[in-house]
Structure 1
Amino acid sequence: MTSSLLVVDAQRGFTDLCPDELPVPGGSAIVPAVNTLLALPFARVDATQDWHPPDHCSFLGRRDNLYPPHCVQGTPGAEFLPGLHTHRFSAVWRKGYDRDFEAYAVTAQHPGFAAFLKASGIYTVVVCGIATNICCYFAARDLRQAGFDVLMVENASAGIDVPAAGLFQERAKTDALAMGIQYAPFEKLLYHGI
């Protein structure tokens, strides 16, 4: 098996469970689809977890002034979504923990991640989670640039446009497709294998 799954930021702070944080439409609804993926025989399953200090540079009133405080270390918003089969995670890669550094992609905070996957014999990475056009997109982009085949599972993910940051769902998908990132529903993996 040469495929891995990357579950990106499937956390309460990105859903209506924490409405004062950064709820992404449909965020909490992805759990059943993600769990379906987690049941597949991937060689490994990695998860990312936004893990912000309370004064992170991206928060409103701080340097970048883009987002309300969300997924703050040790708070309910930083927790994984209820019902998510987290016991399947091989590793959890925390990111966004540096107050003055924005880290949408796991590769931004952990530059050795791609090399680690290659050393593990991984050639294909399946990506799902929140938000499709932000942290999922940037992780997928970096992995594709590192030489992996990358597939984004749209119906196991949720996205949100953030005009203030220039982050739009359609633009991200167009750019990703141009790079050779594939988009597919999780049913494709169920019926055609990973």
Structure 2
Amino acid sequence: MTRALIVIDMQRGFDDLDFWGPTTNPDCEANVASLIAAWQAADEPIVVVRHDSRSEGSPLHPSNPGNALVEAVADAPAAVLVTKHVNSAFYGDPDLHAWLRERGIEELVVCGIQTNMCVETTARMGGNLGYDVTVVLDATRTFDLSTEVSGLGTVTRTADELMATTALDLQAGGFARIATTAELTEV
């Protein structure tokens, strides 16, 4: 067993578009469910990661119903649940890097929410730690983003642009390969 599926932050709170804004990739949850089924059929480990926001106003705060995992992930046969307060699953509890090393896992297949935040950060750290990382882009999603940036003014990107930029950065930067759900679930 040298490969694990890392399912990041597939939580009900991300369905609150009033909070997060416009999103993309409505097939994300179905694609994550397909990956989970493939891993389960192959008897390979599934790591579920949940973001426990420290901000009480966040839909992902543990006191809010949005902290709950979506059904497909909540019902998954997870080998371990990692809870975190930051972007990277490697800074959670239990220690993901130690858990993976103890089991001789060298390859990570990463999916979940948000593409350009927690998925990308976890993939980058995994690559830096020496793992062979694949990000399943069509099993991720994110949201439009706009903010003031010193020296640039207001910078705005659509969710589709952010997903494409993440794919470009991860693959061209050597952090991870980009794949589709079909590529990883075909028999």
Judge same fold: TM > 0.5, yes or no.
yes
- How large is the RMSD of aligned CA atoms in angstroms? 2.5
Corresponding residue to 1:25 among 23, 26, 45: 23
Amino acid across the alignment from 1:74: S
Q: Is the contact between residue 23 and residue 144 of structure 2 (CA under 8 Å) also seen in structure 1?
A: no
Unaligned runs of 5+ in 2: 150-156
Q: 1:188 to 1:144 in 2, by over 3 A?
A: same
Q: Of residues 157, 171, 174 in structure 1, which corresponds to 2:168?
A: 174
Change (3 A) 1:157 1:51: same
Q: Which position in structure 2 is the counterpart of 1:100?
A: none
* Paired residue type of 1:182: R
Cα distance change of structure 1 residues 110 and 85 upon mapping to structure 2, 3 Å threshold: closer
The TM-score normalised by the length of structure 1 is 0.77
Which structure 1 segments of 5+ residues have no match?
Answer: 60-68, 97-102
Q: For 1:9-20, what aligned pairs fall within 5 Å after superposition? A: 9-15=9-15, 18-20=16-18
SS in 1 for 2:18: coil
- Which has the larger displacement, 107-116 or 39-48? 107-116
- Corresponding residue for residue 45 of structure 1: 46
Residue 37 to residue 174, structure 1, CA distance change in 2 (3 Å): same
Determine the structure 1 residue equivalent to 2:69.
80
CA positional deviation for 1:179: 1.9
Question: C-alpha distance in 2, partners of 1:42/1:94?
Answer: 23
Q: Given the two structures, how large is their TM-score scaled by the length of structure 2? A: 0.80
Per mean C-alpha deviation after superposition, the further-off stretch among 32-41 and 78-87 is 78-87
More helix by share: 2
User: Which is richer in strand?
Assistant: 2
- Partner Cα separation in structure 2 for residue 108 and residue 119 of structure 1: 17
Offset, 1:176: 0.9
Q: Structure 1 residues 24, 184: closer, same or farther in 2, change over 3 A? A: farther
What secondary structure does 1:135 align onto? Answer: helix
Distance 1:23 1:11, change over 3 A: farther
- 2:152 — aligned with what? none
Picking from 69, 88, 108, the partner of 1:105 is: 88
- Aligned twin of 2:107: 124
Aligned to 2:186: 191
- In the TM superposition, what whole-angstrom CA distance separates every residue of 1:51-103 from its partner, at most 9, and x where no partner exists? 12344xxx7xxxxxxxxx2311131111111344533211211111xxxxxx1
Secondary structure in 2 aligned to 1:151?
strand
Measured in 1, the distance between the counterparts of 2:70 and 2:94 equals: 26
